[in-house]
Structure 1
């Protein structure tokens, strides 16, 4: 069975048949005639785009502009299928959409197709714009975080961590109060996280330990570095609302 047939299994076949009578689907022929070579590479396995034809034509033009025509090859369905399906559910001008288009561009670029991991489409679909921005900043430098945890001698336990200093510019986020939740999510996706630097530093009051200072730094995983290289835009600020 060819890879073109394989991707057919991931498409909503019954819905395709329901829509075959619509005027939008009858325009697919014009789509094939009017789009650039990227359309043939990305859409070779996918015919079900008619209800959003104009929007997808614009997407394909953007992908085409990212890859010289002489370098374009057919996208693998494990990437093209999930990406094209996910694009139906995101805003046209958003950082998440751009990440999907960057991944498609890698998938049709014979010089960079090795960067297009099949897992990336699913990862993008799970990210918020704030998390995409965090990855963008993490690629550029490490950010120091200092937290304090209170020590309770009576129970020999430590309390929750309170932040003393955070070098990451959380004010650039839409929801800065979610920063640590975002970090936990990025860690669960094996993209990035906070790593403790050195040993915890005990603090004292009245000759007794009353807490510890924990110093951490932001860090990308190797998988996260590849994800950013393949998907995250070079300038994320242009997607600010």
Structure 2
């Protein structure tokens, strides 16, 4: 039985749409609408081979009815082609529109080849991979749009690793208070490649607010004693830069690497 050809209908949608999110959603809907119907008379292998031979072509066609600037169309087509080609043909499936839409909108403002662009690209690869589509959560493209390139690099560095962070503070025995600013003794987080390494503490606060990563204390605080008289004069706190469970799942889905169910 012949597989139905795609028929593109005109859509009055311009890049000057009132809502950028609407643009991404409409492209996603157009993609899903144009996917051919599976033929129940064909085996699963035939359907995979004939219907999903090249999902990139389907995505390209989905853009045809949408009136976009040529430069953006080229950017999107190249982006999709690169992401889809990572997935073997026999495993390619249609991406969920609630993931594809925000990705389409996100790359509009992101130059090619940046850490953010790579996160979007890997996430799209997950969403079209039948084996790993379950890893692509609809919240992920929204999160990617909220982080900076430096923060993306930090998250990638923390994938499967932790880095020590140790600081001390003075202790006023009379007031029974810790006083003064913290003094950093150990900070092993790599700064190489960061555009603004002086912003690391700000980045970590932001990543913590997003539920992705943080500097988490390990064990109890250690008292620091003076020599004469022997009394506590400070405290030492040992911590580690590390991903949260949610952060591990996020960065695993949005960066290259083998599939795994170990998020402990």
Specify the TM-score bucket, using the shorter chain as the normaliser: 0.7 to 0.9
Identify the residue that residue 38 of structure 1 maps to in structure 2.
56
Rg comparison, structure with higher value: 2
Q: Distance in 1 between matches of 2:182 and 2:252?
A: 33
TM-fit CA distance, 1:41: 5.2
The correspondence of residues 105-144 of structure 1 with structure 2, limited to 5 A, is: 105-144=125-164
Q: State the TM-score, normalizing by the size of structure 2.
A: 0.71
Deviations 1:153-186 (A, max 9, x none): 3432213322111112224422111111111111
Q: Distance in 2 between matches of 1:46 and 1:165?
A: 55
Task: Give SS of 1:126's match.
Answer: coil
1:50 to 63, 68, 78: 68
Task: Give SS of 1:66's match.
Answer: coil
TM-fit CA distance, 1:122: 0.7
The correspondence of residues 78-117 of structure 1 with structure 2, limited to 5 A, is: 78-117=98-137
Mark the CA change 1:97 to 1:187 in structure 2 (over 3 Å): closer, same or farther: same
Tell me if structure 1 keeps the 8 A contact 2:169–2:235: yes
Q: CA RMSD in A?
A: 2.6
Q: Distance in 1 between matches of 2:56 and 2:241?
A: 37
Q: State the TM-score, normalizing by the size of structure 1.
A: 0.77
Number of residue pairs the alignment of both structures matches: 207
Identify the residue that residue 15 of structure 1 maps to in structure 2.
16
1:177 to 198, 202, 206: 198
TM-fit CA distance, 1:219: 2.1
Q: Structure 1, unaligned stretches of length 5 or more?
A: 1-11, 18-31, 235-241
Tell me if structure 1 keeps the 8 A contact 2:59–2:80: no
Tell me if structure 1 keeps the 8 A contact 2:84–2:128: no
Identify the residue that residue 240 of structure 2 maps to in structure 1.
217
TM-fit CA distance, 1:44: 4.8
TM-fit CA distance, 1:50: 2.5
Mark the CA change 1:175 to 1:82 in structure 2 (over 3 Å): closer, same or farther: same
Q: Distance in 1 between matches of 2:184 and 2:245?
A: 27
Task: Give SS of 2:73's match.
Answer: helix
The structure with more helix, counted as a fraction of residues = 1
Tell me if structure 2 keeps the 8 A contact 1:99–1:232: yes
**Greater alpha carbon shift after TM alignment, 47-56 vs 128-137:** 47-56
Q: Distance in 2 between matches of 1:231 and 1:210?
A: 46
| 1:187 maps to 2:188 | no
Q: Distance in 2 between matches of 1:41 and 1:53?
A: 11
Q: Structure 2, unaligned stretches of length 5 or more?
A: 1-12, 19-33, 35-53, 258-264
TM-fit CA distance, 1:76: 1.1
Tell me if structure 2 keeps the 8 A contact 1:44–1:74: no
